[in-house]
């Protein structure tokens, strides 16, 4: 059986830099956008909010499945992989602009 860090170590790694680069530890809701239970009247904002909720639910399920797989079979990598930057990139611009139309 491959050796791998315990689940607690994986959680520590995910919660520490550089994985959380650019992430505010204290998220703030924009009063114009609201939260999950907010009364949203703009369909563009509702679509965006629902997409964010769907992505987060899926990503949490994926992380649980990956954690279980790593616990059972070990990690597939040996060295740290660099994280993506938390910045808008040129390839994101068309989708952002389309959301406003």
Which residues, 6 or more positions from 87, have their beta carbon under 8 angstroms from its beta carbon? 22
Count of domains observed in the chain = 1
> Does residue 45 contact residue 33 with C-beta atoms inside 8 Å?
yes
Place of tokens 């602009």: 97
26 lies in some domain: no
53 lies in some domain: yes
- How far is the C-alpha of 99 from the C-alpha of 46, rounded, in Å? 11
Q: Is 34 left (phi over 0), alpha (psi -120 to 50) or beta?
A: left
66 lies in some domain: yes
60 lies in some domain: yes
Per-residue pLDDT of the chain (101 residues; tens, 9 = 90+): 445 555 555 555 555 555 445 545 444 555 555 556 678 999 999 999 999 999 999 999 999 999 999 999 999 999 999 999 999 999 999 999 999 88
**Positive or negative CA dihedral for 12, 14, 19, 21?**
negative
Query: Which range marks the domain in which residue 50 is found?
Result: 44-74
End-to-end CA distance of the chain: 53
What is the pTM assigned to this prediction?
A: 0.57
36 lies in some domain: no
């Amino acid at each position: 059986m491959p050796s791998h860090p315990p689940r607690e170590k994986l959680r520590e790694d995910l919660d520490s830099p550089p994985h959380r680069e650019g992430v505010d530890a204290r998220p703030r809701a924009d009063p114009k956008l609201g939260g999950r239970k907010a009364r949203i009247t703009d369909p563009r904002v509702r679509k965006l909010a629902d997409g964010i909720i769907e992505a987060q639910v899926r990503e949490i399920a994926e992380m649980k499945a990956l954690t279980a797989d790593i616990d059972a079979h070990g990690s597939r990598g040996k060295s740290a992989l660099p994280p993506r930057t938390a910045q808008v990139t040129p390839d994101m611009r068309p989708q952002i602009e389309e959301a406003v139309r």
